[in-house]
Amino acid sequence: MCSKCGQELNQPEEAVVLGVYRGFLWYRTETQGNEGADEGRTWAWYWSPNELPELLLIRRGGKDMTLVENSACDVSDYENAAEHSPFEPRSTLEMRARTDFDTFVELATRSHSAASDMQLVERLNAYCAAIGLDVTNLSITDVVVPGEVGEGDDEVGVVHGRPRTRSLVVDDYFTSPTLKDITGPELRARTAVLRVLNSKILRVLPFIAVRPDDGSSTQPIEVAGSAGLNNFTRGSADFLSTSMKLRSLRRLVFTSTKRAFWDDVLRATTTSTPLPSDEYEDPREIRVIRINRIQAQASKLSLLSQPGDRLRRSVFGQLYREMRVWSDSFFRRAYCGKGHGGQRRAFKVKFLGEGVNDYGGPYRAVFEQIVDELQMDNVELSKGEQGLLPLLIPCPNRRSATGSNQDKFLLNPSCGTALLTNGPMALDLHRFLGKLIGTAVRHGLQMGLDLPALVWRPLAGLEVSRAHLENVDIAAANNLCRVEELNPGTETAVQEVEEVLGYLTLSTTLSDGVEVPLVPQGEKMPVTFANRELYVHLVEKTRLTESSQQLAALKHGLASVLPMELAPLFTPQELEVLICGRREVDVDLLHQCTEYSEGATETMPHVQHFWEVLREMTSEERTSFLRFVWARSRMPNSAKDFPMNFKLQAALDPGAVGHPDQYLPHAQTCFFALRLPAYTSKDVLRAKLLYAIQNSPNMDADVRLHNAEGWADA
């Protein structure tokens, strides 16, 4: 291109064609050389039909078109195309899919229910996340059943280098009777209806108060079967409101539809940051926070006997000390500096004693270390506390290594330490944690907090039940079942009652081991066969709501940074992925979002060995690798959510070129890049890569510091 938006360019630019929409050809400008190579995605723009003759086509797919005669864009067919339908079928499947409207209506309405539609939406969400497409951009060849695979296989290829699944319905995915035997035409018709429904919903969402009563963070946790907590006193008008119907049918709304509205609200509520006079300087509103990670190492914190001292020295405590007086608007900033790899931020970080400049990597590393500190329960503490910091504790299933969800942590129901009681300061820490989580979400970071449904369901406005208690404390749930199932009519009833109830009182033990009475003086009242139902009800209610104050404070912090009134649009699983990402590092997705530069190509033997080694790693090793190259432990949910591609580069140092097996790989977390020497074997590559991953706790590649601040008393 020699001109853009009617203005002549200083030098020609290249552009990638994105597609046609509403009669315009949309494109994105390619970065030239290294200028702006790491600035993140550029905006899309369009050409009108009369501008097309001025374009020069230089590449089509992987083919160089510069030597092809008359390679300028030929628009001779464009005018003729106006005489034909823009939806002319291009494959056998598309030809067969054409039908009249009455037949379409019959196909779309045949034996469908809300439950079957919800399962279909769930499958469409998963399928599109895997291939990196929006549901609204699926082609007709994507929406097929196994019996149709093979019809026009040439139409089914790859998306961004990643093979598409041959069928939307795989391995008897659907359990709904309506969907188990669905035909291809029925599947496509119903998918079309759901897409139209979602387009209508997206248009009206700005006019619906999704959760009118969500202005207060003190809304109680709803417990299934507890009439006192299911507030139906608001009247039938609210019960039949549009917002309530929308919340009840949230599973009919595509994740991409919800995310589109969510992202619009995020942009609208972002605090504006004035640009500096020098583009290479930071605005004064972006404050620099000095962090001493050396003194905050777990091995040093665990030697401190007082939990309050550990909190003060931790990275979380250092941030709290600096940022607790900031107004909420500071956390809603999303400034992106030049050369920062597209990383949005609310502040900058200065790591004391580490030779690194914050171009994005240190900023991400701060959030990762906070997660590590909050969920570190594998250190020995002098007073036997369950975690390094008092805000989160391992769930009972994790401590006893029984049941499911042994990776989950709970909000500490007591948050009691020698310094912090369950009072204003402790709750303020939870509010601050909520603000940090919200800031991370705004900036495209996923804090890898392993929290259970007992947290996500109340945030999404849904009730909790005993099944959710069982997921984190199977022993307590089984005990309640035994008490409920006591049968006085059996011959061994007396003995069984004594065995089950003999040691119980009207009290219960919370997740942190603290015993609390269920009624005044309950710890002195025995549980009898007559009051056993009351005991079960009170224990269940107490355990399910034990962290209600902490959760309310966390939600208050989240709501000051994020539009949490929209949270009831999401399912608990969607909300968890939105805020915390997915645990597993998807190697295929990473491979799909990789670019090769500075001498590296995908066909090189050591590059192929690299991907093989990455796939053979354990889940923990892959997470450590992601931290090594990107300073984060969770990947975005899909390819379209990546702010930048992973860059795999050749090691150009003369020593690494001549003797590659003697050198380690080198990562630049700010730019999501890895320089990989051309190792002579797969085994050498594995050993060098794992060694680098496991022995790089600090960031020292930018500048070398001697007698550096931060190492005193280290």
Q: CA 627 to CA 605: how far, in whole Å?
A: 25
Contact between residue 312 and residue 251 where contact means Cβ atoms under 8 Å apart: no
Tokens in use for 699? 């960031």
Q: In Å, how far are 3, 150, 302 from 693, measured between CA atoms?
A: 46, 44, 24
Burial grade of 44 (CB within 10 A; 0-12, 13-18, 19 or more):
middle
Residues with Cβ within 8 Å of 329's Cβ and at least 6 positions away in sequence, in order, are 271
Contact between residue 282 and residue 348 where contact means Cβ atoms under 8 Å apart: yes
Q: In Å, how far are 22, 28, 58, 75, 422 from 15, measured between CA atoms?
A: 19, 5, 10, 18, 58
Q: In Å, how far are 310, 415, 547 from 385, measured between CA atoms?
A: 12, 11, 18
Q: CA 251 to CA 241: how far, in whole Å?
A: 18
Q: In Å, how far are 29, 310, 363, 391, 424 from 323, measured between CA atoms?
A: 39, 18, 15, 18, 17
Q: CA 242 to CA 708: how far, in whole Å?
A: 61
Tokens in use for 177? 């009777």
- By DSSP bridging, strand 348-351 and strand 392-394 are unpaired
Contact between residue 234 and residue 268 where contact means Cβ atoms under 8 Å apart: no
Burial grade of 624 (CB within 10 A; 0-12, 13-18, 19 or more):
middle
Nearest to 441 by CA among 574, 274, 552: 574
Nearest to 148 by CA among 175, 121, 170: 170
Q: What is the DSSP letter of 281?
A: S
Q: In Å, how far are 120, 177, 588 from 173, measured between CA atoms?
A: 10, 11, 21
Q: CA 527 to CA 515: how far, in whole Å?
A: 15
Q: Which residues are catalytic?
A: 670
Residues with Cβ within 8 Å of 200's Cβ and at least 6 positions away in sequence, in order, are none
Contact between residue 34 and residue 45 where contact means Cβ atoms under 8 Å apart: no
Contact between residue 182 and residue 174 where contact means Cβ atoms under 8 Å apart: yes
Burial grade of 553 (CB within 10 A; 0-12, 13-18, 19 or more):
buried
Tokens in use for 151? 């019809």
Helix (H, G, I), strand (E, B) or coil at 410: strand
Contact between residue 365 and residue 667 where contact means Cβ atoms under 8 Å apart: no
Q: In Å, how far are 17, 19, 41, 354, 512 from 28, measured between CA atoms?
A: 7, 10, 9, 38, 54
